A and B are shown apart, each in its own frame.
Chain A
Amino acid sequence: MTEQGLAQRGALPGASREASIDKVSVDERAGRLATRSIKTEAKLSGLRLVIRMMDLTTLEGCDTPGKVRALCRKALHPAADIADVPSVAAVCVYPNLVPIAKKELEGSTVRVAAVATAFPSGLSPLDVKLDDARRAVELGADEIDMVIDRGAFLAGEHPRVADEISRVKEVCGEAHLKVILETGELGAYDNVRRASDLAMEAGADFIKTSTGKIQPAATPAVTLVMLEAIRDFYYRTGRRIGMKPAGGIRTAKQALHYLVIVKETLGDDWLTPELFRLGASTVLNDVLMQIRKLETGAYQAIEYFSKD
């Protein structure tokens, strides 16, 4: 649907009121949420929740079936020697590796996500991108992580970006669509907000910060801006859109900080892997280490945790 069409429906936020974002204040709020003190029981349950929300990801040119199989095992059983460690939410790979992951994860709750639409730049003809997404679904992906065309967005071609998202949504069928905004390339929080609104209106099931290929990737402040967009969309439509910060999350403490932001911005309904994911792989071992520390009172060397 064109922007004009959306505006006539009164569906685009800009139709009645353009949301603007004040950077100083957003950074301050995100910073203050980082001062929440997460201890003992809250820390343990928070860390378990973090694992359940994790999308374990490998997106390298050198990914092989062996590497992906190993990652899938880790996704199913992050640490065999720690009691009650749940599986992660999903494994995220390039389309060619979807069948490998699918087979490895068969019968489990762990979903397979594939990046598509000329990841990570999105700078290919639309039919190529649609085909990319369609093929990934055919190969068995449960979730599609698409990228928006940032060039088009920054050139002001918002209707084109919206149109591309809704076309990808069509070819996804049953597969969940996560729309990567690549906030590190959008420059201003106003643009992040605009792109979030646009993606949700166009049919995104999730909005996601980053590809992981660009710095900065996810930040608490950018996540806050996107969660506020999700809240406003929920107020308007009653639809709950999911959120996935990705990249740049390295420590368990940072991961818990994201959980705090979700808890205090969108509340209980979003504290579930159905609506919140963390795109982070390196953080898993730190989370396991912290859980072990909480249970035994002592830190264990990193060599005791598998590197996948």
Chain B
Amino acid sequence: MTIKLIDGEPENPTVEQGRRKGERRLHFGDAWQYSPAPESPSKVRLEPRYELFIDGQRREPSTGRYFQTINPATEQPIAEVAEAGEQDVDAAVAAARRAYENVWSKLEPLERGKYIFRIARLLQERARELAIVESMDGGKPIRESRDFDVPMAAAHFFYCAGWADKLKYAFPGREVSPLGVAAQVIPWNFPLLMAAWKIAPALACGNTVVLKPAETTPLTAMLLSDIIREAELPDGVVNIVTGAGPTGAALVSHPGVDKVAFTGSTAVGKAIQRQLAGTRTRMTMELGGKAANIVFADAALDQAVEGIINGIFFNQGHVCCAGSRLLVEESLHDLLMRKLCDRMSTLIVGDPLDKNTDIGAINSKQQLEKIRELVESGEQDGAVRFSTECAMPDRGWFFPPTVFTNVAQSSRIAREEIFGPVLSVLTFRTDAEAIERANNTCYGLSAGVWTDKGSRLFEMASKLEAGVVWGNTYNKFDPSSPFGGYKESGFGREGGRQGLLAYLEVDR
């Protein structure tokens, strides 16, 4: 016997491209469109070529090689950047060592703090320029680099500067001392901010550093080297070596470094750990994630939708703590999806320098291909895809905001880090099931919980295996709040008092 569906609904009434057939939708069209409002790249003066920054000087690389850094929104090269070889890494580590032994470790902590405050202020003074370059080099919307990356980078320097002469009070009753030379390798998703997360606490605790920015986004680190010179930081306290994987490998395995701080993929993080096993080098690792963003039926729904959007589409989803797995209470699923799809339809994808752009360019061609490959696997696994029909630029690397429903827990898009604007939606029935599903991953960096019940929020937070659990919000950061992972998302904390420990020897 066949059951007739009412109102002539089709046989498969559930979904068409991720949306229920026949449901009332809102129309986000061109009744009133925003005109282009681009920040002007003419506000910045970029050099055609950037050298290494070693011992307070610009230095040509021993390799004699340079690589291009490309604007992902135009696919055009912006500048040439030096490729550091082993000799350059040697020189940088040696410079850092000299600076540590002769100057920085002997300086009064209060004086160290003054230098760091100076860097913070200079970052603020050059905020606009830094924001524009960050968006040109990495593809992130200017709204984010202007309102988040640059101010937050300055905030980290301010915060750590304050600790420089108060370390005794950070760990009462204990004696602390710096570690020495820190090798720091940072990713391309928040280039300037990650440099700040790494450099500020290291300097405040009395260490010197050699930093390697990512090869696709080295420019703001080079601007930071200008700021460091302008702040008259003693030569060699901060050194910056640019290059790709081999440069990073040479740096982290260098016998002259006392500490390695790495932020990046879990695969590379594991390789570094293998390389350093058995050595005395200390490590902190901030690696990948596949965060669960858990929405209960009693949540403030429209605000949860905002949080989901912010969780997955912030910085094109190039965020290690992105809320890339949406776990939604089954009874709420249809209503939430309708709201989410309508809200996604308002997102503006386009020129990263336009002040109205919500989603900018995918950082590199390679990353775009990875996203496409995983999205394809999601479709093959039978998940239902909804991508918005927003206008896309003709050139550059872009990907539309995408959500998958009907995702199996076993599917690759539910397990692997996509690092793009792609959300996988799964459902749960009970609190226990939500926790089980959320924790059913090799990662454990972050999670979000949306509920109106305080008791439930605290219980979830205590049971979720994640370094950060956001309650009724997502992607909130503060220099005073420690950040870091469980499981294969890494170890060690950055930010806050706990973040200082990564750069200190606690003697007794």
Residues of A in contact with B (beta carbons under 8 Å apart): 17, 19-22, 24-26, 28-29, 35-43, 45-46, 49, 228, 231, 234-235, 238, 259, 263-264, 266-269, 271
Contacts and interface: CB of A to CB of B under 8 A. Distances in A.
B34 interface: yes
A231 to B, nearest CB: 7
A20 B296 CA distance: 12
Q: Which 4 A-B pairs have the closest CB atoms?
A: A25-B303, A37-B37, A268-B31, A22-B300
B35 A41 contact: yes
Contact of B27 (A21, A43, A267): A267
A263 B32 CA distance: 8
Contacts of B24: 234-235, 238
Contact of A39 (B37, B300, B302, B346): B37
10 contacts: A20-B299, A37-B37, A37-B356, A42-B34, A234-B24, A235-B338, A263-B31, A264-B346, A267-B31, A268-B31
A303 to B, nearest CB: 30
Contact of B298 (A20, A25, A42, A267): A20
Contacts of A238: 24
Given A238-B24, A259-B32, A20 B356 contact: no
A17 B28 contact: no
A63 B301 CA distance: 45
Contact of B35 (A22, A35, A39, A234): A39
Interface string B257-279: 00000000000000000000000
Contacts of A45: 32
A25 B471 CA distance: 12
Nearest to A227: B302
Contact of B302 (A21, A28, A41, A271): A21
A18 B408 CA distance: 30
Contacts of A25: 300, 303, 306-307, 472-473
B33 A268 contact: no
B303 A36 contact: no
B31 A42 contact: no
Interface string B33-56: 111110000000000000000000
Contacts of B64: none
Contacts of B29: 267-268
Given A37-B34, A39-B37, A42-B33, A266 B303 contact: no
Interface of B: 23-24, 26-37, 143, 147, 297-303, 306-307, 335, 338, 342, 346, 355-356, 452, 472-473
B472 to A, nearest CB: 6
Contacts of B37: 37-39
A42 B35 contact: yes
Contacts of B27: 267-269
B104 to A, nearest CB: 40
B28 A267 contact: yes
Contacts of B28: 263-264, 267-268
Given A19-B301, A25-B303, A234-B26, 11 more contacts: A19-B302, A25-B307, A36-B34, A42-B32, A42-B34, A46-B32, A49-B32, A228-B302, A267-B346, A268-B32, A269-B27
B356 A36 contact: yes
Looking at chain A's contact residues, is the secondary structure mostly helix, strand, loop, or mixed?
A: helix
Contacts of A269: 26-27
Contacts of B34: 36-39, 42
Given A35-B147, A267-B26, A22 B31 contact: no
Contacts of B26: 231, 234, 266-267, 269
Contact of B355 (A22, A35, A43, A228): A35
A228 B342 CA distance: 12
Contacts of B299: 20
Contacts of B298: 20
Contacts of A49: 32
A202 B303 CA distance: 26
A49 to B, nearest CB: 6
A231 B338 CA distance: 11
A22 B303 contact: yes
A17 B497 CA distance: 42
A255 B274 CA distance: 59
A228 B343 CA distance: 11
B154 to A, nearest CB: 19
Contacts of A35: 143, 147, 355
Contacts of A235: 23-24, 335, 338
B1 to A, nearest CB: 29
Contacts of A271: 31-32
A20 B452 contact: yes
Which one of B24, B346, B472 has the highest number of Cβ atoms from chain A below 10 Å of its Cβ? B24
A36 B144 CA distance: 13
A22 B147 contact: no
A266 B297 CA distance: 23
Of the candidates B300, B306, B356, the one having the most CB atoms from chain A within 10 angstroms of its own CB is B300
A108 to B, nearest CB: 24
Contacts of B307: 25
Contact of B473 (A17, A24, A38, A259): A24
| Residue picked from B298, B346, B356, most chain A C-beta under 10 Å | B356
B31 to A, nearest CB: 4
A133 B91 CA distance: 85
A274 to B, nearest CB: 13
A246 B143 CA distance: 30
Contacts of A29: 303, 306
B33 A17 contact: no
B300 A21 contact: yes
A215 to B, nearest CB: 25
Nearest to A235: B24
A264 B303 CA distance: 14
A274 B303 CA distance: 28
A171 to B, nearest CB: 31
Nearest to B306: A29
Nearest to A229: B302
A43 B356 CA distance: 14
B187 to A, nearest CB: 26
A278 to B, nearest CB: 14
A45 B338 CA distance: 30
A269 B32 CA distance: 11
A284 to B, nearest CB: 19
Contacts of A39: 34-37
Nearest to A272: B31
Contacts of A36: 34, 355-356
Contacts of B472: 22, 24-25
Contacts of A28: 306
A49 B33 CA distance: 12
A234 B338 CA distance: 12
Contacts of A24: 472-473
Contacts of A19: 300-302
